[in-house]
Amino acid sequence: MDALKIQIPSISENIRIVESFIDNVKEKFNVDDDLYGNIMVAITESVNNAMKHGNKLDKTKNVILSATCDENALTIRVEDQGEGFDYDNLPDPTAPENIDKVGGRGVFLMKHLSDEVRFEDEGRVSEMVFYFS
């Protein structure tokens, strides 16, 4: 199975590297434009969470991205070096008391833009699967 992988320090400006990585994934695995937008937003959200919440913007800690593909789906893993989080007890960003809050939408978006989201290693790893139609 083919794979692409990068490792980037937890610095906000490095999001542009993530965008280039997604562009490379799109080309290497022939991802169509409809899926591309969802992948870009979901993965960018995931990496932002990994940098901010996981690695606490500690530039000595890295975020590792890897993408694998088979004939049915593209799978992208985002891994941080933080303490993990309780992904089963996140507040619902669509609840009235949370509507005006700035944060809290990353995992919600990841779940809605990908076909599957799995968390591993106490939340240090998020894996998103995008099925090809």
| pLDDT of 1 | 66
CA dist 83 and 67 (Å) reads: 23
Does the model's pTM come out above 0.85? Answer: yes
- Domain edges within the chain: 3-131
Show the tokens assigned to 18: 């993530």
Angle at which helix 33-49 crosses helix 15-28, to 10 degrees, equals 150
| pLDDT of 59 | 96
| pLDDT of 126 | 97
CA dist 57 and 12 (Å) reads: 8
Neighbour tally for 46: CB within 10 Å? 28
Confidence of residue 93 (pLDDT cuts 50, 70, 90): confident
Give the architecture (CATH level 2) of 3-131: 2-Layer Sandwich (3.30)
| pLDDT of 8 | 97
For the stretch 94-132, pLDDT in tens is 889 988 887 788 899 999 999 999 999 999 999 999 999
Checking if the pLDDT of 4 tops 70, the result is: yes
